[in-house]
Amino acid sequence: MTNTSSPLSNSLRSGPDDRGRFGIFGGRFVAETLMPLLLELDEAYRAVQADPEFRRELDYYLKDYVGRPSPLWFAQHLTEELGGAKVYFKREELNHTGSHKLNNVMGQILVARRMGKTRIVAETGAGQHGVATATVCALFGLKCTIYMGATDVERQKPNVFRMHLLGAEVKPVTAGAGTLKDAMNEAMRDWVANVADTYFLVGTVAGPHPYPEMVRDFQSVIGMEVKEQITQAEGRLPDVIVAAIGGGSNAMGIFHPFLDDASVRLIGVEAAGHGLDSGKTAASISRGRPGVLHGNRTYLLQDKHGQIEEAHSISAGLDYPGIGPEHSWLNDIGRAEYVGVTDEEALEAFQVCTRTEGIIPALECAHGLAHVMKIAPIMANDQIIVLNVSGRGDKDIFTVAHHLGVKL
Amino acid sequence: MSRIQTRFAALKKEGRGALIPYLQACDPDYDTSLELLRAMPAAGADLIEIGVPFSDPSADGPTIQAAALRGLKAGATLGRVLEMVRAFRESDSETPIVLMGYLNPIDSYGPAEFCFDAAQAGVDGIIVVDMPTEEADLLDAHAREAGLDIISLVAPTTSNSRLFHVLRDASGFVYYVSITGITGTNSASAEDLEQALPRIREATDLPVAVGFGISTPEQARTASRIGDAAVVASALIKTMASTLENDQATDRTVPAVLKQLEGLAAAVRA
């Protein structure tokens, strides 16, 4: 709930405030045309939060359609290979459509239906959010338009085809570098031009308030399940939670229920691309500074004049010059740490995961795994790491093959 | 009285609305856009809006997006835009200049420094597309101190009660985004405007400029009569773009835009 004076105000989980801010981050930086829609959405979201019927409806779909809860898997072979902390995988890649994205999409589509919207627009990077959105639109018979950067359309062909099969219109965006940032701009342009019937289904914990809060709430099911599952398996909370970050929805989903558990280290892994200091990176917190883009104040990759820079990552899902505002805040107050992993390290982790656990991870979470591979060996055997395996890697096999010099 | 107030008061006496042409700073290069800026008042511009190029203009259509990219390529920065205004003020101390852009370059420059420097350079008002009333405290006090008007935007989606909220502390003039959409795409009809303007005038005594989708002399005349001013942007930039070769200015560039501007001005004054 957005109430700064709530009895929980000592909690790190009580944000955002009434202006949609986490510290100095967040807010509602949109054109006036969209402002009334955000206020309307905020009102609709407060109404569903107070409605037990909405919760029942969402739980039904999460269980029987998404396939929740997702398992918490003890990655024994990987643990043995790394020779340190015990590594657990939160298996979000087992959700319907193959990633954590459906948790949020399922929640928002039920909100959109209650608001009487008949058309959905969304942005997508790797295509995971686009596929999830196209899926629920098929399920509920809603018109669906997905904006995807032309570069991403090229490197994520299987997901583009999936969206087509699901009945969505996929619009390639050629502006800029043709990646997620440009798709986001174009989705916002569509929304502003079609405000009457269209719902903008944002895929990550970014954008104007109330999106960062709402997406976080819908993704928090990940962390809540982990809390229960790890307590059952180990009788205690983990020492470290690791998740990869583009916009940051899978990370926020697994972090948020643990924010007040000070003993749990939270580590967000940004895509360092060719290296944090290479100039070709997507590490917004490590190499950016606060600014305003896409409706919120947050860490951004930008030049000294405030022009937004292109991000770079091998992973289309992390290829974004910003990050959710709550992550920016968690960084500044020191509650979560943010580190970088390069394309090369992620490719290596991708292969290790596949070989040791028989799980092909999305390149996004391979970044998280690469960091786990750095810290697990220097941790004690009785310590516990949970990695959010947020998506499966079938979509990435072409990219990986290309980088390994294999022709498919 | 500010330059903006003086200009609207004078036009009211003349019994006509204002024409506000738009150009994107440094599109296609600094010298050409300054030449155009300097020539605009004589061609019929009553006020002038200068677009500040931004990498991610999410409220703009393809025409202004392309113009922004050309401007950035030509080295546009907020500092360079202010330099352009200073150069313009050497020979014109009367035509009001309004900057239109997105928040991040201003945020990056520093809100207080920007307001001070902009006023010093001779800027009269600023329109920040992605800064709604709810976030305007970022600039409000600095702008007021510097004597800059923050031009409030209202849209067809702005409800009657919200109009009062948005326009409570408005100054300069009000910018009516006459369509729900991006720049340079659809146009509002005369009927749309006839319905919208009384709603807005209920909430403010300030002049109302109508923008987004105004391209023909006829549309400019209609908008400047139902409202108090017509903003023409994409249509002028389209003309400019059609004269470019490999994104570079040619001999035709400035004359072509000015000729179109004269046509628009004649319609507004007719």
pLDDT tens-digit series, residues A27-56: 999 999 999 999 999 999 999 999 999 999
Neighbours of A181 (CB within 10 A): 30
Is B19 in contact with B264 (CB distance < 8 Å)? yes
Does the CB of A380 have a partner CB in chain B at under 8 Å?
Answer: no
Low-confidence ranges of chain B (pLDDT < 50): none
Q: Which residues of chain A lie closer than 8 angstroms to B129, CB-CB?
A: 31
Edge-to-edge strands, sheet with A384-389: A72-74, A86-91, A384-389, A240-245, A265-273, A336-342
What are the angstrom distances between the C-alpha of A150 and each of A172, A260, A322, B1? 5, 41, 19, 51
CA distances from A356 to A70, A282, A346, A350, A388 (A): 20, 28, 15, 10, 17
Task: Establish if A375 touches chain B: CB-CB under 8 angstroms.
Answer: no
A294 touches chain B (CB under 8 A): yes
Cα–Cα distance measured from residue B156 to residue B163, given in angstroms and rounded to the nearest whole number: 10
d(CA A323, CA A332): 13
Contact B168, B138 (CB under 8 A): no
**Buried/exposed B192-217: b ≥16 CB within 10 Å, e otherwise:** ebeebbeebbebbebbbbbbbbbbeb
Give the strand order in the sheet containing A295-300. A21-22, A25-29, A295-300, A289-293
pLDDT surpassing 90 at residue A179: no
Identify residue A305 by its one-letter amino acid code: H
CA distance B73 to chain A (A): 12
Which of the pair, B34 or A398, is modelled with greater confidence? Answer: B34
Angle subtended at Cα A403 by Cα A399 and Cα A407, rounded to the nearest 5 degrees: 75
Contact A185 B58 (CB under 8 A): yes
Our measurement of the distance from residue A218's CA atom to the centroid of its chain's CA atoms, rounded to an integer in Å, reads 11
Average model confidence (pLDDT) across chain A: 95
B260 phi, psi to nearest 5 deg: -65, -40
pLDDT of residue A2: 44
Report how far residue A42's alpha carbon sits from residue A45's, in angstroms, rounded to the nearest whole number: 5
Q: Which of B60, B108, B154, B175 to mutate to test the interface with A (most CBs of A within 10 A)?
A: B108
A16 touches chain B (CB under 8 A): no
Residue B123 main-chain phi, psi, to 5 deg: -80, 140
Q: How confident is the model at residue A156 (pLDDT cuts 50, 70, 90)?
A: confident
Taking CA–CA distances from B158, the nearest residue in chain A reads A36
User: In this structure, are strands A86-91 and A384-389 parallel, antiparallel, or unpaired?
Assistant: parallel
- Identify whether the C-beta of residue B47 lies closer than 8 Å to the C-beta of residue B37: no
Query: What percentage of chain A has pLDDT greater than the value 70?
Result: 98
pLDDT number for residue A9: 67
Place of tokens 């067809």: B156
Report residue A155's pLDDT band, with 50, 70 and 90 as the boundaries.
confident
Asked if B60 is an active-site residue, the reply is: yes
Residue A354: the pLDDT is 97
| B129–A176 C-beta distance less than 8 A | no
Q: Which has the closest alpha carbon to A332: A299, A365, A363?
A: A299
3-state secondary structure of B195: helix
Residue B61 distance to chain A (closest CA, Å): 8
Element (H, E) at A313: none
Residue B73 backbone class (left: φ over 0; alpha: ψ -120 to 50; beta: rest): alpha
Asked if A195 has any chain B CB less than 8 Å from its own CB, the reply is yes
CB contact under 8 A, A192 and B182: yes
Tell me the chain A residues in contact with residue B157 when contact means C-beta distances shorter than 8 Å: 32-37, 195
Name every residue in B having a CB less than 8 A away from some CB of A.
54-59, 61, 65, 72, 77-79, 102-109, 129-135, 152-159, 162, 166, 177, 180-182, 185-186
Contact A307 B58 (CB under 8 A): no
Cα atoms in the 13 Å half-sphere on the side-chain side of A78? 30
Q: Which residues does chain B have within 8 Å of residue A295's beta carbon, measured at their own beta carbons? A: 130
Structure tokens at A355: 């070989």
**Dihedral sign, Cα of residue B176, residue B178, residue B179, residue B182:** negative
| Dihedral class, residue A387 (left if φ above 0, else alpha if ψ from -120 to 50, else beta) | beta
- Closest to A158 in 3D by CA, of A333, A390, A400: A400
Question: How far is the alpha carbon of B37 from chain A, nearest alpha carbon, in Å?
Answer: 23
Query: What's the CA gap between B189 and B208, in Å, rounded?
Result: 16
Smallest CA-to-CA distance from A187 within A144, A230, A152, A229 is with A144
DSSP code, position A391: B
B74 burial type by CB count under 10 A (0-12 exposed, 13-18 middle, 19+ buried): buried
Assess A109–B contact: CB distance below 8 Å, yes or no: no
Question: Which among B58, B77, B153 is the top mutation candidate for probing chain A, defined by the most A β-carbons within 10 Å of its own β-carbon?
Answer: B58
Structure tokens at B40: 């605009």
Q: Is A183 on the interface with B (CB under 8 A)?
A: no
B46, B60, B117, B149: the active-site residue? B60
Strands of A206-281, DSSP E: 240-245, 265-273
Question: Rounded to an integer, what distance in angstroms lies between the CA atom of residue B220 and that of residue B197?
Answer: 15
pLDDT at position A94: 98
**Rg of chain A taking only CA atoms, in angstroms:** 19
- Give the single-character DSSP code of A346: H
pLDDT for residue A387: 98
Phi and psi dihedrals of B117, rounded to 5?
-65, -40
Cα B205 to the chain's mean position, in Å? 20
Among residues B46, B49, B117, B124, the one annotated as catalytic is B49
CA dist A189 and B92 (Å) reads 36
Measured in degrees and rounded to the nearest 5, phi and psi for residue B95 equal -70, 120
Tell me, what's the pLDDT at A8?
Answer: 52
pLDDT at residue A275 tops 60: yes
Greatest C-alpha distance within chain B:
50
User: What does the block give as tokens for A192?
Assistant: 């502003």
Q: What ipTM describes this predicted complex?
A: 0.96
Give the tens place of pLDDT for each residue, A292-330: 999 999 999 999 999 999 999 998 889 899 999 999 999
| β-pair type (A86-91, B149-150) | unpaired
Lay out the sheet containing A119-124: strands in order across.
Answer: A169-173, A143-149, A119-124, A198-200
Among the partner-chain residues A181, A195, A306, the one whose CB lies closest to the CB of B107 is A306
- Residue A3 pLDDT greater than 70, yes or no: no
Q: How many helices, marked H, and strands, marked E, lie in chain A?
A: 16, 14
- Closest by Cβ to A305, choosing from B77, B102, B133: B77
Provide mean pLDDT across the span A80-95: 98
Q: Which of B121, B142, B2, B5 is nearest to B52 (CA)?
A: B121
Mean pLDDT over A165-191 rounds to: 92
